[in-house]
């Protein structure tokens, strides 16, 4: 298991927080599409999201070995739309990978140009508060 921190930048008129939350939600929707959520469902996100205490930027926290079951009724349109930086080839590859798989691995869903931090790098960059509580 390898935990990674994926800082999310604001894009397509969405804040860093909105994109991070959207990515987490849309990954969850691969497993259980929104149309199948029962009323009052409280779990709607797959990844933890955190805010950098100084910059205000948001990040998704994930395990690179995370395997996500793909529901036959999944809709990947919103997930792919959250990655406007993808080239046409990358977008097509991501779409094909998800559409043709019953199980996808998170490590293969991370865009090539994404900033990916190890726990040590995230700690050094200030994402993880290591100060003990007073």
pLDDT for 46-63, tens place per residue? 999 999 999 999 999 999
Q: How many other CB atoms are found less than 10 A from the CB of residue 97?
A: 15
Output the pLDDT for position 85. Answer: 87
Residues 98-107 pLDDT 10s = 999 999 999 9
Does residue 115 have a pLDDT over 70? yes
The span from the CA of 15 to the CA of 13, in Å, is 7
Is 90 exceeded by the pLDDT of residue 21?
A: yes
pTM assigned to the model = 0.90
How large is the average pLDDT for residues 18-28?
Answer: 95
Question: HSE-up of 32 (CA within 13 Å, CB side)?
Answer: 12
Q: Give the pLDDT of residue 43.
A: 84
Residue 1 has pLDDT above 70, yes or no: no
Q: What is the pLDDT of residue 132?
A: 60
Residue 134 pLDDT more than 70? no
């Amino acid at each position: 298991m390898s935990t990674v921190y994926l800082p999310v930048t604001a894009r397509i008129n969405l804040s860093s927080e909105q994109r991070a939350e959207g990515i987490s939600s849309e990954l969850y929707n691969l497993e259980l599409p929104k149309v199948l959520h029962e009323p009052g469902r409280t779990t709607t996100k797959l990844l933890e999201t955190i805010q950098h205490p100084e910059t205000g930027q948001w990040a998704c926290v994930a395990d690179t070995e995370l395997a996500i079951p793909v529901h036959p009724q999944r809709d990947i349109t919103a997930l792919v739309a959250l990655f406007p930086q993808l080239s046409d080839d990358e977008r097509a590859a991501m779409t094909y990978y998800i559409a043709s798989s019953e199980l996808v691995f998170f490590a293969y869903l991370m865009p090539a140009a994404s900033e990916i931090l190890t726990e040590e790098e995230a700690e050094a960059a200030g994402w993880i508060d290591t100060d003990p509580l007073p």
